[in-house]
Amino acid sequence: MSESVKFSCERVTAKIPSFRGLAELNAYRRKLLDLRLVGVDPNGIGFGNLSVRDGASESFYITGSATGGIPELVRADCAKVVACDFEKCRVRYEGSVIPSLESLTHAAIYQSDVTAGAVIHFHDSSLWAAVLNRAPTTSKAAEYGSPEMANEIMHLFTRTDVESRKIAVMAGHEGGILTFGKDLEEAFAVLMRERKKIYT
């Protein structure tokens, strides 16, 4: 298991089925790479990830761990998360790559909002500082990729307007922000709407 992955992984099968959302995922990921909202930091550590729900199920396709530096993803660079156990901190998945360390966080959004079809986790330090505690914000004690972060996300859905605003700030993960929507187009539009407020 990767040192950065905070959950235990159980691979169900080494291959994932082809999924229609891969081309769209790459298209929006290119936009995020161009804006430097996902990628690799100066220390060579990847940041940011995207996922798309598999139809009406709670399964979802997510970019793999340590794929931030790959310019164009192929199917093998993604994993299909088929089950999450928040209490046992366990993820079951299909594919040859370990799913992103934020898989539990993405799963928490899909479980909390049945209309959510896509999630973007990106890094923008200026936007993060501007919306911290002004948009729905997780506890600073919750570390990224942890069951505590997933629980914080689920709590936001019960005590804030995160479902309508479609943005969550990760207080314990400097620069980390999540947007979501019915598809990647909406999740990206939320991201750009929030950036426009501080960059124009």
pLDDT digits (tens, 9 = 90+) for 106-142: 999 999 999 999 999 999 999 999 999 999 999 999 9
φ/ψ of residue 153, rounded to 5: -60, -45
The pLDDT tens digits of the residues spanning 16-61 come to 988 888 999 999 999 999 999 999 999 888 899 999 999 989 899 9
pTM, full prediction = 0.94
Task: Name the CATH superfamily, with its identifier, for domain 8-199.
Answer: Class II aldolase/adducin N-terminal domain (3.40.225.10)
pLDDT band, residue 1 (cuts 50/70/90):
very low
Q: 2 by DSSP, 3-state: which?
A: coil
| Residue 96: CB atoms within 10 Å | 15
CA 74 to each of CA 19, 77, 80, 169, 193: distance values in angstroms, whole numbers, following the listed order: 11, 5, 13, 29, 29
Query: Could you give the CA distance from residue 176 to residue 172 in angstroms, rounded to a whole number?
Result: 8
**In contact, 144 and 172? CB cutoff 8 Å:** yes
What length does the chain have?
200
How do strand 90-94 and strand 8-13 relate by DSSP bridges? parallel
